[in-house]
Amino acid sequence: MSKLGRGLEALINSGPESVDKTTGITTVKLEYIKPNRFQPRKTFNREKLEELAKSLKENGLIQPIIVTKKATTEYELIAGERRLEAAKLANFDEIPVIIRSVSPKEQLQFAIIENVQREDLNAIEEALAYRQLSEEFGMTHSQIAEIVGKERVTISNSIRILKLSSKIQKMILEKKLSSGHARAILQVKKELQEQFAEYIIKNGLSVRKAETEAKRIMETDALALNSKKEKEISFPEILLLENHNIRKRIKAHREEIEISSGYIEKLSAENRRLKELNKPKQQADNINEKLNNYIKKDSSDEKLLSVKKRELKEKLEKIKKRKKHFPDLIPVNSDYAISQVFSKKHPALDFAVPKGTEVLAAASGEVLSVYEDKYLGKVIMIDHLNEYATLYAHLAKILVKSNMAVQKGEIIGLAGNTGNSTAPHLHFEILKNGENINPAEILKNLK
């Protein structure tokens, strides 16, 4: 039984019926058993299912499935869907079952435990199941992690995969990409994600190489500068530098256009003079040809200038957007003191502030989840739509909802001392690619 996981084992071995009573283990006709409506797995490996059906024909079903009674002769599956499907393939008329009374929440939990612990779910199905537990049953990421025996960050990262486009999710379902590849793809901006996914598949990149390539793409896109020295410039300095370069380039092109216009006037005057002097027609035609060619060239230069201006404007917008989604804003709107610094055991900064202090979004993004945790109290987690996410805990009040867009500096909650906090403060975490990093290395003007 231990193979089934703590949740399923408890389900089988507990409850009002015992397995040696007729109400605990019995046989039910397959036609009366409905599939689990909360089943997270959407696809089955046909070859493995046929192998299991062959084994059932030879050895019978040793381990009963678990069902809950819905009506006099109607049952709904809790756990054992592969065995149920294989029994149908083997043309069984009836099947041994254990009958248990469970809530819809428990029904989903046990279906997930069975599949996740046996590694039967693909990354998309697993993420959908976790999101269903979070949204429909109000479970926190920590509670889900405890049930399935995984880290909280693993659950959060899994749910983030659902932000990828349907095309990329299909690649994951087809096992062309792993969940590790999906996390790497999430690091790059949305408009490049599908192209990057195809690049990973085409070049057979490992997860590690995909992460390295994603980091390179982000740095190139964010700074759009070539030299190492320029890559170390801060965002405000980059904006000033780009503005200066745009002004210089536009000024240079304007000077060229002014020179061109002057030259055209000289050619026109020369053409008129030749006509007045009645010079040979061929000489005048040559000057006319030069004039027409230069007018065409000048028009081309104006178009080139327009393209350059547009490219530079787009580059500036990209840099501004990157800055907007970079979590460097102090997340409290008042005086504060750092009551606890970042460490391996405490992967956060604690800001000691009065109760009710406004808590600000450190960067623009989308609320990944809001929940209440035994230790962290009221919690907000924000995905900044790049490689960064932030977490705000021990809040007295939450002012945002899941999937809500937030702007940098927007008030998202009020500081408090919920959870296991002994005094009012904000517990603030920054995660990069799912791993905690020291906020002090990113926050600007930190005291």
- What is the predicted pLDDT for the residue at 378? 95
Q: Which CATH architecture has domain 2-121?
A: Alpha-Beta Complex (3.90)
Q: Tokens for 439, please give them.
A: 């906020």
- What is the predicted pLDDT for the residue at 429? 95
Superfamily of domain 337-441: Glucose Permease (Domain IIA) (2.70.70.10)
- What is the predicted pLDDT for the residue at 342? 92
Same fold, 2-121 and 337-441: no
Active site residue ranges: 81
* Average pLDDT per consecutive 10 residues, the chain (447 residues; last block may be shorter): 39 39 71 79 73 84 84 81 87 89 76 63 80 81 83 88 91 88 89 90 90 81 41 38 49 52 62 58 60 58 65 72 87 91 91 94 92 91 90 96 91 95 93 89 83
The domain locations on the chain are: 2-121, 177-223, 235-324, 337-441
- What is the predicted pLDDT for the residue at 296? 58
Q: Tokens for 152, please give them.
A: 């909280």
- What is the predicted pLDDT for the residue at 392? 96
List all residues 6 or more positions away from 55 whose beta carbon is below 8 Å from its beta carbon.
86
